[in-house]
């Protein structure tokens, strides 16, 4: 297994929102996609994935619906709400700011 990097605190929410912005997915799908896209660098711990999904749902940023999975089983599909889209934009802007700042500091030294 390739070495995994611990997710930055709060980053998981951003990753989930971004993933769901592309298309609705169930929990396993979200984890799978994050791993694939990050080329297995980012491993989403299941213990934190579902609490995060539920938290976002309680906040009203994503909504859940039962639907049929790719292998025709009942699964819970999450999709972004309007509020979630706004939140994603805000968090992306925030991330850009943070990443830019870190880059600036790293280049300086």
Least distance from C-beta 80 to other proteins, angstroms? 17
CB atoms within 10 A of CB 73: 9
Residue closer to other proteins (CB basis): 65 or 97: 65
Q: 31: which 2 tokens?
A: 């984890």
As measured in angstroms, the least distance from the Cβ of 18 to other proteins is 20
Q: Which is nearer to other proteins, 50 or 101 (CB)?
A: 50
Could you give the 3-state DSSP secondary structure of residue 74? strand
Q: Does 100 bind other proteins (CB under 8 A)?
A: no
> Nearest-CA neighbor of 81 among 15, 21, 13, 12?
21
List the interface residues with other proteins, window 23-62 (CB under 8 A): 26-28, 32, 45-48, 50-51, 54-55, 58, 60
Q: Is residue 71 involved in binding other proteins (CB under 8 A)? A: yes
Closest distance to other proteins from the beta carbon of 47 (Å): 5
Residue 37, strand partner residues: none
The Cα 69–Cα 45 span in angstroms is 21
Q: What sections of 1-109 are H helices per DSSP?
A: 11-22, 27-37, 46-59, 82-108
Q: According to CB under 8 A, which one of 73, 82, 107, 108 is a site residue for other proteins? A: 73
């Amino acid at each position: 297994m390739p070495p995994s990097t611990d997710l930055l605190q709060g980053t998981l929410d951003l990753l989930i929102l971004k993933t769901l912005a592309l298309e609705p997915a169930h929990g396993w799908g979200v984890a799978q996609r994050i791993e694939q896209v990050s080329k297995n660098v980012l491993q989403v711990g299941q213990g934190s994935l579902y609490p995060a999904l539920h938290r976002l749902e309680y906040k009203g940023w994503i909504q859940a619906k039962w639907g049929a999975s790719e292998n025709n089983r009942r699964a819970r599909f999450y999709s972004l709400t309007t509020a979630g889209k706004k939140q994603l934009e805000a968090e992306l802007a925030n991330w850009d700011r943070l990443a830019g700042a870190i880059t600036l500091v790293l280049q300086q030294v």
